[in-house]
């Protein structure tokens, strides 16, 4: 499965809100493991026309995860996600 397909699946799972701990953990692990090469790939692709690039979808999913983990008061996870979000936003600004 491509990483973009995983983003689409994660969006669906998080939007519906019917996820278990394993699914949430898998999405979290995937999102924080994304490296700069993949982020650059997302930046340079526009698979969904309602977004300027695929990186916007990535950041949107990060925001949902931050909200979930803030509600659960899991602040260490929030910090990791916020760092990935900042990295993505900075990458988007550069280009």
Both structure tokens of 85: 């979000």
For residue range 7-39, list pLDDT tens digits in order.
Answer: 999 999 999 998 999 999 999 999 999 999 999
This prediction has a pTM of 0.91
Strands (E), the chain: none
Domain count, the chain: 1
Which residue in this structure is represented by tokens 């997302």?
42
- Tell me what pLDDT residue 2 has: 81
Which among 69, 58, 11, 56 is positioned nearest to 34, based on CA atoms?
58
Which among 6, 90, 95 is positioned nearest to 52, based on CA atoms?
95
């Amino acid at each position: 499965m491509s990483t973009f397909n995983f983003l689409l699946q994660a969006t669906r799972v998080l939007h519906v809100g019917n996820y278990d701990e394993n699914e949430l953990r898998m999405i979290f692990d995937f999102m924080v493991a994304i490296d700069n090469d993949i982020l650059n790939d997302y930046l340079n692709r526009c698979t969904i026309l309602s977004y300027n690039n695929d990186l916007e979808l990535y950041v949107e999913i990060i925001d949902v995860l931050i909200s979930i983990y803030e509600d659960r008061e899991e602040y260490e996870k929030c910090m990791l996600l916020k760092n990935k979000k900042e990295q993505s936003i900075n990458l988007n600004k550069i280009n």
